[in-house]
């Protein structure tokens, strides 16, 4: 069980890294829009302008 | 009712304007919506219609402004509104009338395809667009007109996007939530190990180590994530109005300090897991509440979106189009018919009628002559006028009303919630009891004193009490949003449940706010009412006056020849060789000028030819179809009704009689309305105010709880506690019922929490509850409270 004395602090270090990365992402504005990404994936961007008119 | 495919406004006729989308002909309400829908279709973005949330009627309807975006092409505008980033320029644009994620998708997709635009970022939270573009390939004006063509109302901003208070708040809240959730998961993991150790035995060193790492993870959760609770609790103590946050802060603080103490002294148990879980759930609740609030409140639009973007300034003899932000007192402006007034001022030249509905709630336009004062936000209906600017921006009447409502919001006595009062008493009582228990055991069995005291503190931790109200309110808020009601203020539900009296505004609330023909009287046998209406409709094609909208008949009428518009009096035109006149009695029969409006309950519009009146149309503001039903449901719930209106006696009486509302008050200024509310409150009534219109904003803020229809002026929404989405009054009654149900659940929750604490306390005080059982009991009691609250999400 002594391995826990190393693994848990290691886990906390990773946790700290994750929190730091998240703070950076929030600060750079990546989380400013919480609504659009949820629906963006189901929006088709491949409808070409004037599709079905010129072709 | 059929609604416009693009902007969702109710349609009077479905065959007037249509757009083919995905092979189906869709009805739209106006050429503006038609143009936007066609543009969206032709750019291959019809997905927008499938993906967007149901729009509030009219929100996305393109404005009929004559805004001239070319003014923003000038280099001084670029310098004022954009910053240079290398060769590119970057600008922040406020996008009015944007309301959901599909809107930001539409804007991003459209602008990205425009040559010269490099980066487009839209934030639905702040309704702002950050765009980076090459000023040599596209000018600012081009970007703005692109947005305007999509039906949005763009406004370039001179300040930085990142400093917006909503955005800062959201970013901070996200960070707090993330720290709390990660911390909660980690600490819970360690806690499982510690609890298992309680049963199976655990190495003392390992136990100390696990407690230490729990402490390390919990500390940032308490110091960072839970900081808003501590500061709010402190503010409550300082202002002697202890809020909901005081027991919360005490519980978090006490459990944390006790755990730290237990960790250092190798005590029997630590409660870091309870602390983090508690903080996480509370932070999550606050976060969701904040998101709902941001969605509903859009303060930045309140003032600016009602003013035009540009104005025509007269510099000597030259006309120059300038942004409204550059106007100063003393400027002379030219205002064309159909434009809105950009600043307060004095009319110096020309005659017109102004629609001041936004400011006064009056549906009847006011005639204005040189020397009269004109207010920003009113709409110039029919004459070309020149005005001298007196006040701009925040100094205008519009700005003052907006400030007034802000002040009324802040001066509202902070309502101490039922749960708050009970919880804070209980917290104090528990602390006293814990101290007494500690003293007793200290003298009788000193070795058990600490364990028992901790058990008492944990088992009676007012978590369930603290959660009882917010959990129910959060669940109710979700359910109300499903029912098309947005709650923007936590006190609203509680106040709504207590409400004893509902005060209604008239125009735009009980009525639709647009005139309709209620009766037609024909004086001459040679013509029938239908023909009269057709002639009137044809004559009114020239007019932009609100009354003209009442005259709509089956076919698109052909415009008569030789049309003439006499401001404030009527219209004339030649149809089939005959000269017709439509307007005031004197205008039609040819006499002295008289006011366009008589003082009866209806507005009379005469139709005549050759100096003789042939028919008269009586116009009145139409009462909403669901008003009667809603009022009956409210009376059924035991609520009194009253009507307050700024309108004159006759129309108010007509509506009051039709809906049998008593008492009713007419001719009320906002101050009068506020006095009526104060009087009712002094009589012990809890007043709910339903109204829209800017002039009602201070009134809404003064009522115990306020409800605004979403089609009302934006400012009224910002001070309203509850916003009804959709074009219906029925949600008022639903909201009251839901609020009462919510308060029932809150009372059940509080009762359960009190019963639990009352049973657990004596057991723990007598030393029958080990700390681990105390922790389980505390969590279970909280869970029951949450589950009970969740029932509200299925209530209908």
Residue B632 sits in a domain whose CATH number is: 3.40.50.1000
List the single best residue of A3, A36, A41 to mutate versus B (max B Cβ within 10 A): A36
pLDDT value of residue A14:
94
Residue B774 belongs to a domain: yes
The answer to whether residues B656 and B752 belong to one domain is no
pLDDT value of residue A23:
95
Q: Which helix (H) or strand (E) holds B641?
A: strand B640-644
The answer to whether residues B633 and B490 belong to one domain is yes
The enclosing domain of B100 has a CATH number of 3.30.70.100
Strands (E), chain A: none
CA-CA distance, B743 to B727, in Å (whole number)? 27
Mean pLDDT value across residues B383-411 = 65
Residue A22: pLDDT band by 50, 70, 90 thresholds? very high
Phi, psi of B502 (to 5 degrees): -110, 120
Residue A41 sits at the chain B interface (C-beta within 8 Å): no
- Tell me the two tokens of residue B290: 């904040």
Query: Chain A partners of B171 at a C-beta cutoff of 8 Å?
Result: 26-27, 31-32
What is the value of ipTM here, to two decimals? Answer: 0.84
Q: Flag whether the pTM goes above 0.95.
A: no
Range in B181-195, B404-418, B502-516 with the lowest mean pLDDT: B404-418
pLDDT value of residue B115:
82
Residue A42 sits at the chain B interface (C-beta within 8 Å): yes
CA-CA distance, B687 to B703, in Å (whole number)? 6
Taking CA–CA distances from B216, the nearest residue in chain A reads A12
Q: Would you call B334 helix, strand, or coil by DSSP?
A: strand
Residues B221 and B176 sit within 8 Å (Cβ to Cβ): no
Residue B594: pLDDT above 70?
Answer: no
Query: What's the count of helices (H) and strands (E) in chain B, helices before strands?
Result: 26, 29
Residue B754 belongs to a domain: yes
**What residue spans of B82-222 are helical by DSSP H?**
101-112, 140-149, 165-200, 204-220
Q: How many other C-beta atoms can be found within 10 angstroms of the C-beta atom of residue B794?
A: 9
Residue B654: pLDDT above 90?
Answer: no
Query: Chain B partners of A50 at a C-beta cutoff of 8 Å?
Result: 42, 44
DSSP result, B188-248:
HHHHHHHHHHHHH---HHHHHHHHHHHHHHHHHIIIIITHHHHHHHHHHHHTT---THHHH
Q: Which helix (H) or strand (E) holds B386?
A: strand B385-391
Q: Which of A9, A23, A36 sits opposite B104 (nearest CB)?
A: A36
Residue B305: pLDDT above 70?
Answer: no
pLDDT value of residue B101:
66
Residues B432 and B722 sit within 8 Å (Cβ to Cβ): no
- Give the residue from B129, B163, B197 where a domain finishes: B163
Residue B122 belongs to a domain: yes
Residue A39 sits at the chain B interface (C-beta within 8 Å): yes
Tell me the longest C-alpha to C-alpha distance in chain A.
Answer: 72
pLDDT value of residue B307:
66
Q: Which of B45, B46, B186 sits opposite A15 (nearest CB)?
A: B186
pLDDT value of residue B575:
82
Residue B682: pLDDT above 70?
Answer: yes
Q: By C-alpha distance, which of B540, B544, B573, B579 is closest to B557?
A: B540
Surface of B (49-68) touching A: CB under 8 A: 51
Query: Chain A partners of B175 at a C-beta cutoff of 8 Å?
Result: 22-23, 26
Mean pLDDT value across residues B613-641 = 85
Is A36–B179 a contact, with Cβ atoms under 8 angstroms apart? no
CA-CA distance, B759 to B264, in Å (whole number)? 31
Average pLDDT, chain B: 76
Q: Which residue has the higher pLDDT, B180 or A43?
A: B180
Range in A20-29, B482-491, B646-655 with the lowest mean pLDDT: B482-491
DSSP result, B524-551:
-TTS-HHHHHHHHHHHGGG--SGGGGG-
Residue B372 belongs to a domain: no
- Give the residue from B115, B141, B163 where a domain finishes: B163
The answer to whether residues B732 and B645 belong to one domain is yes
The per-residue b/e assignment along B317-344, b for 16 or more CB within 10 angstroms, e otherwise, is: eeeebbbbbebeeebbbbbebebbbbbb
CA-CA distance, B465 to B666, in Å (whole number)? 46
Among A24-28, B43-47, B581-585, name the most confident range: A24-28
Residue B367 belongs to a domain: no
Q: Which residue has the higher pLDDT, B334 or B424?
A: B334
pLDDT value of residue B217:
95
- List all residues 6 or more positions away from B645 whose beta carbon is below 8 Å from its beta carbon: B361, B505, B506, B507, B651, B652, B655, B664, B665, B666, B667, B668
Residue A3 sits at the chain B interface (C-beta within 8 Å): no
What residue has token string 């655990």? B202
Q: Which of A4, A33, A39 sits opposite B125 (nearest CB)?
A: A33
Q: Is the dihedral of CA B633, B634, B639, B643 positive or negative?
A: negative
Query: Chain A partners of B126 at a C-beta cutoff of 8 Å?
Result: 32
CA-CA distance, B642 to B680, in Å (whole number)? 11
Give me the domain span that covers residue B154: 69-163
pLDDT value of residue B522:
82
The answer to whether residues B156 and B76 belong to one domain is yes
Q: Which helix (H) or strand (E) holds B321?
A: strand B318-323
Is B170–A32 a contact, with Cβ atoms under 8 angstroms apart? yes
Is B121–A29 a contact, with Cβ atoms under 8 angstroms apart? yes
The answer to whether residues B154 and B282 belong to one domain is no
Q: Which of B101, B126, B171 sits opposite A38 (nearest CB)?
A: B101
Q: What one-character DSSP code corresponds to residue B694? A: G
Is B206–A4 a contact, with Cβ atoms under 8 angstroms apart? yes
Angstrom distances, CA of residue B368 to CA of B7, B334, B475: 33, 15, 52
Residue A6 sits at the chain B interface (C-beta within 8 Å): no
Beta strand B578-583 with B603-609: parallel, antiparallel or unpaired? antiparallel
Residue B467 belongs to a domain: yes
Residue B47 belongs to a domain: no
Residues B572 and B579 sit within 8 Å (Cβ to Cβ): yes
Among B7-21, B34-48, B413-427, B624-638, name the most confident range: B624-638
Query: Chain A partners of B216 at a C-beta cutoff of 8 Å?
Result: 12
pLDDT value of residue B262:
85
Q: Which of B47, B126, B182 sits opposite A43 (nearest CB)?
A: B47
What residue has token string 């639709």? B512
Active centre residues of B (catalytic): 505
Q: Which of B105, B113, B123 sits opposite A32 (nearest CB)?
A: B123
Range in B353-367, B624-638, B645-659, B698-712 with the lowest mean pLDDT: B353-367
The answer to whether residues B171 and B284 belong to one domain is yes
Query: Chain B partners of A34 at a C-beta cutoff of 8 Å?
Result: 125, 170, 291
Range in B298-307, B453-462, B507-516 with the lowest mean pLDDT: B298-307
pLDDT value of residue B409:
42
The answer to whether residues B681 and B784 belong to one domain is no
Surface of B (82-111) touching A: CB under 8 A: 100-102, 104-105, 108-109
The answer to whether residues B491 and B478 belong to one domain is no
Q: How many other C-beta atoms can be found within 10 angstroms of the C-beta atom of residue A49?
A: 13
Q: Which residue has the higher pLDDT, B439 or B165?
A: B439
DSSP result, B581-623:
EEESHHHHHT-S---S--SSSSEEEEEEETTEEEEEEEEEEEE
- Give the residue from B277, B296, B315 where a domain finishes: B296
Q: Which residue has the higher pLDDT, B656 or B778?
A: B656
Residue B288: pLDDT band by 50, 70, 90 thresholds? low
Residues B479 and B264 sit within 8 Å (Cβ to Cβ): no
Residue B426: pLDDT band by 50, 70, 90 thresholds? low
Taking CA–CA distances from A1, the nearest residue in chain B reads B206
Taking CA–CA distances from A15, the nearest residue in chain B reads B182
The answer to whether residues B238 and B220 belong to one domain is yes
Is B209–A8 a contact, with Cβ atoms under 8 angstroms apart? yes
Q: Which of B123, B179, B190 sits opposite A33 (nearest CB)?
A: B123
- Tell me the two tokens of residue B136: 């040599």
Is B104–A35 a contact, with Cβ atoms under 8 angstroms apart? yes
Residue B405: pLDDT band by 50, 70, 90 thresholds? very low
Question: Counting beta carbons within 10 angstroms of the beta carbon of residue A14, is it exposed (0 to 12), middle (13 to 18) or buried (19 or more)?
Answer: exposed
Residue B623: pLDDT above 70?
Answer: yes
pLDDT value of residue A30:
83
Question: Counting beta carbons within 10 angstroms of the beta carbon of residue B310, is it exposed (0 to 12), middle (13 to 18) or buried (19 or more)?
Answer: buried
Range in B265-269, B296-300, B463-467, B773-777 with the lowest mean pLDDT: B296-300
Q: Which residue has the higher pLDDT, B182 or B76?
A: B182
Q: Which helix (H) or strand (E) holds B385?
A: strand B385-391
CA-CA distance, B238 to B230, in Å (whole number)? 12
pLDDT value of residue B302:
45
Angstrom distances, CA of residue B15 to CA of B49, B137, B538: 20, 41, 18
Is A33–B291 a contact, with Cβ atoms under 8 angstroms apart? no
- List all residues 6 or more positions away from B103 whose beta carbon is below 8 Å from its beta carbon: B48, B52, B60, B95, B122, B124, B152
CA-CA distance, B313 to B319, in Å (whole number)? 6
The answer to whether residues B77 and B223 belong to one domain is no
The answer to whether residues B262 and B193 belong to one domain is yes
Residue B407 belongs to a domain: no
Among B26-30, B50-54, B598-602, name the most confident range: B26-30
Residues B144 and B114 sit within 8 Å (Cβ to Cβ): no
What residue has token string 């609890």? B195
Residue B39 sits at the chain A interface (C-beta within 8 Å): no
Residue B407: pLDDT band by 50, 70, 90 thresholds? very low
Q: What total of structural domains would you count in chain B?
A: 4
Residues B368 and B353 sit within 8 Å (Cβ to Cβ): yes
Region at B785 (left for phi over 0; alpha for psi -120 to 50; beta for the rest): alpha
Residue B291 sits at the chain A interface (C-beta within 8 Å): yes
Mean pLDDT value across residues B776-784 = 76
Range in B22-36, B118-132, B151-165, B573-587 with the lowest mean pLDDT: B151-165
List the single best residue of B101, B104, B128 to mutate versus A (max A Cβ within 10 A): B101
Residue A32 sits at the chain B interface (C-beta within 8 Å): yes
The answer to whether residues B506 and B652 belong to one domain is yes
For residue A23, the distance in angstroms to the closest alpha carbon of chain B comes to 6
């Amino acid at each position: 069980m002594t391995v826990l004395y190393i693994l848990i602090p290691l886990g906390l270090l990773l946790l700290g890294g994750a929190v730091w990365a998240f703070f950076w992402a929030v600060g750079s504005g990546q989380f400013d829009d919480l609504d659009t990404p949820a629906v963006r994936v189901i929006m088709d961007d491949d409808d070409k302008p004037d599709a079905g008119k010129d072709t | 009712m059929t609604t416009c495919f693009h902007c969702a406004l109710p349609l009077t006729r479905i065959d007037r304007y249509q757009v083919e989308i995905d092979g189906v002909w869709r009805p739209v309400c106006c050429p503006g919506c038609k143009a936007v829908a066609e543009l969206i279709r032709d750019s291959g973005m019809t997905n927008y219609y499938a993906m967007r949330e149901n729009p509030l009627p009219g929100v996305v309807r393109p404005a009929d402004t004559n805004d001239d975006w070319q003014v923003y092409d000038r280099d001084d505008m670029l310098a004022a509104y954009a910053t240079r980033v290398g060769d590119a320029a970057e600008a922040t644009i406020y996008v009015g009338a944007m309301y959901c994620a599909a809107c930001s998708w539409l804007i991003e997709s459209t602008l990205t395809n425009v040559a010269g635009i490099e980066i487009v970022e839209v934030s639905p939270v702040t309704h702002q667009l950050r765009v980076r573009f090459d000023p040599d390939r596209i000018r600012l004006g081009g970007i703005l007109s692109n947005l305007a063509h999509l039906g949005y109302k763009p406004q370039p901003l001179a300040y930085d996007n990142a400093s917006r208070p909503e955005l800062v708040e959201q970013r901070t809240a996200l960070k707090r939530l993330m720290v709390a959730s990660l911390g909660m998961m980690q600490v819970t993991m360690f806690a499982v190990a510690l609890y298992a150790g309680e049963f199976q035995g655990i190495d003392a060193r390992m136990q100390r180590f696990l407690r230490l790492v729990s402490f390390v993870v919990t500390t940032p959760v308490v110091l960072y994530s839970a900081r808003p609770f501590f500061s709010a609790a402190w503010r409550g103590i300082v202002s002697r109005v202890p809020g909901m946050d005081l027991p919360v802060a005490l519980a978090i603080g006490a459990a944390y300090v006790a755990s730290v103490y237990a960790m250092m002294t190798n005590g029997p148990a630590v409660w870091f897991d309870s602390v983090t879980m508690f903080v996480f759930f509370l932070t999550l609740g606050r976060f969701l509440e904040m998101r709902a609030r941001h969605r509903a409140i859009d303060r930045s639009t309140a003032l600016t979106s009602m003013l035009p973007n540009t104005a025509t300034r007269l510099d000597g003899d030259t006309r120059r189009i300038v942004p409204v932000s550059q106007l100063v007192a003393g400027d002379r402006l030219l205002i064309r018919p159909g434009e809105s007034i950009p600043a307060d001022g004095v009319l110096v030249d020309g005659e017109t009628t102004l629609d001041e509905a936004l400011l006064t709630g009056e549906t009847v336009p006011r005639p204005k002559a040189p020397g009269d004062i004109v207010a920003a936000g009113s709409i110039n209906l029919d004459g070309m006028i020149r005005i001298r600017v007196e006040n701009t921006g925040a100094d205008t009447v519009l700005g003052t009303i907006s400030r007034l409502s802000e002040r009324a919001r802040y001066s509202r006595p902070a309502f101490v919630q039922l749960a708050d009062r009970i919880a804070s008493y209980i917290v104090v009582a528990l602390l006293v009891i814990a101290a007494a228990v500690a003293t007793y055991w200290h003298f009788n069995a000193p070795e058990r004193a600490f364990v028992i005291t901790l058990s008492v503190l944990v088992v009676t931790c007012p978590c369930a009490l603290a959660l009882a109200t917010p959990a129910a309110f959060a669940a109710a808020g979700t359910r109300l949003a499903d029912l098309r009601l947005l709650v923007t203020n936590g006190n609203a539900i509680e106040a709504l449940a207590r409400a004893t009296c509902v005060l209604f505004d008239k125009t735009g609330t009980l009525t639709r706010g647009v005139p309709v023909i209620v009766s037609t009287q024909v004086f001459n046998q040679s013509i029938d009412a239908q023909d009269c209406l057709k002639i009137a409709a044809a004559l009114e094609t020239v007019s932009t006056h609100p009354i003209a909208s009442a005259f709509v008949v089956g076919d698109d009428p052909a415009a008569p020849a030789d049309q003439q518009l006499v401001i404030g009096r009527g219209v004339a035109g030649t149809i089939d060789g005959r000269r017709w006149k439509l307007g005031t009695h004197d205008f039609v029969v040819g006499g002295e000028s008289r006011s366009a409006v008589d003082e009866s309950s209806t507005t009379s519009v005469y139709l005549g030819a050759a100096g003789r009146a042939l028919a008269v149309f009586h116009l009145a503001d139409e009462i909403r179809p669901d008003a009667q039903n809603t009022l009956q449901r409210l009376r059924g719930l035991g609520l009194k009704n009253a009507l307050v209106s700024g309108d004159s006696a006759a129309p108010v009486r007509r509506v009051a009689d039709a809906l049998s509302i008593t008492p009713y008050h007419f001719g009320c200024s906002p101050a009068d309305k506020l006095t009526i509310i104060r009087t009712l409150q002094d009589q012990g009534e809890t007043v709910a105010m339903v109204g829209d219109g800017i002039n009602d904003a201070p009134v809404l803020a003064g009522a115990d709880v306020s409800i605004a229809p979403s089609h009302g002026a934006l400012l009224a929404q910002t001070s309203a506690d509850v916003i009804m989405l959709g074009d219906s009054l029925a949600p008022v009654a639903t909201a009251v019922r839901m609020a009462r149900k919510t308060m029932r659940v809150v009372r059940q929750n509080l009762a359960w929490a009190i019963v639990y604490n009352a049973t657990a306390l004596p057991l723990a005080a007598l030393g029958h509850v080990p700390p681990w059982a105390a922790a389980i009991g505390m969590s279970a009691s909280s869970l029951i409270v949450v589950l009970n609250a969740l029932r509200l999400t299925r209530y209908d």
